[in-house]
Amino acid sequence: MTRFRESVRSLLRERVLDAAHRLVADDGWSGLRMTSVARAAGVSRQTLYNEFGAKEAVGGALVRRELERFLVGIQGELDAHRGDVRAAAAAGVGYTLRQAADNPLVKGVLLADRGGEDDLLQYLTTRPEPVFGTAMAMLDAYASEAWPEVDEESRGLAVEVIVRLTVSHIVQPVAPPEESARRIAAITERIAYPGGGA
């Protein structure tokens, strides 16, 4: 019975998050109302509040779910270039920047910030979790396995730099994704191998 309840709750959460994702993509974060989410998800407002509590909790859940999807794709790109720091970094960053540019939720977050509503943008910029902490933990685990010759300090610095620069380029792109990925990969390689030992 407990497993059934957990399954139903998981399906409910996914339905709510799918509805919220569509609404944010269409109207931006500032236009999101819990009443609209409940209606779009086909649940009562009380059910929605019981599950999430507040709009900010929906935002946090949206960002965490999107981050998980990004990380699965990034892991695939990294694995395809295991052993080559520059190629892996370029592939992972390029994937991230391309996906972010086409992602309606990310666009909704960034457009909302330009309009002065920054509640959801803070998950990408000022809140350390979930984006920075989760991404750095995943990349550090990958790097310690894929780049065993890189010392721990250099590896930690390279991981932090690649995550922070990538998020910076998502929030404020300055070049096409492939060019930004190439540059971030070069920086990452120089930090990972400060003596040029790649």
Q: What is the pLDDT along the chain (198 residues), one digit of tens a residue?
A: 677 677 777 888 999 999 999 998 888 777 889 999 999 999 999 999 999 988 888 988 888 888 888 889 999 999 999 889 999 999 999 999 999 888 877 766 665 544 444 456 666 555 546 677 888 899 999 999 999 999 999 999 999 999 999 988 988 899 999 999 999 999 999 999 987 655
pTM (2 d.p.): 0.77
Among candidate residues 78, 73, 80, 102, the one with its CA nearest the CA of residue 188: 78
CB 184 within 8 A of CB 169: yes
